[in-house]
Amino acid sequence: MHVKKSLHTRSYSLWILLIGLLSPLSTIAADSVKTLGWDDLIPEEVIAELEKRAAANINHNGGAGEQLMSPLLSAVKKELDGQQVKLPGFMVPLAGDKDKVTEFLLVPYFGACMHTPPPPTNQIVYVNYPKGVSPDLLYDPVWIEGPLTVGEVESELAVSGYSMNAINVTLYEEPN
């Protein structure tokens, strides 16, 4: 009888140990979606170069500065390719119907691509979301979530440096 009780206690202890070891894995899986800000889409070396150029003297030779900066403004972070991410922004509709928007550009500020020149390619995400988003959300910030793909996608409004087949699009709320 003492042996059976000892085996039962060991078995119970093993289960507790196993649960304790596996619990962090479930937390890791739940936290596998990385929340990004728009600066996170720009390579660190590009940010450093832009800061360096901002500190330099202003060039008054017309569009020469824009031409020099163009490669910088289209640089993307290749290491983000395939990562599950969550990113806030505003939708610029590309496709859908009166009930839902199924394709859109996600941009960092309201009105981008519509009334002003588009943001740099590394500040635009082309989003495909077949489930669709209500057109009522076009004036509100949203969160997109899903695997991020690095690579240019050209639309009628702009060229994006990233794209996503979104698994979720929700109204923006401040992160906890």
Where in the chain does DSSP place strands (E)?
34-35, 84-96, 101-107, 125-133, 142-154, 159-165, 168-171
pLDDT for the residue numbered 14: 30
pLDDT for the residue numbered 139: 92
Per DSSP, the three-state class of 131 is strand
Rounded Cα–Cα distance for residues 79 and 84 (Å): 12
Rounded Cα–Cα distance for residues 38 and 153 (Å): 18
pLDDT for the residue numbered 43: 95
Average confidence (pLDDT) per 10 residues, the chain, 176 residues: 44 34 39 91 90 68 50 89 97 96 95 80 97 94 98 94 97 84
For 84-114, the pLDDT digits (tens) are 999 999 999 999 999 999 999 999 998 787 7
Query: In CATH, what is the architecture of 36-171?
Result: Beta Barrel (2.40)
Rounded Cα–Cα distance for residues 84 and 9 (Å): 41
Rounded Cα–Cα distance for residues 108 and 116 (Å): 13
Q: Is the pTM of this model over 0.95?
A: no
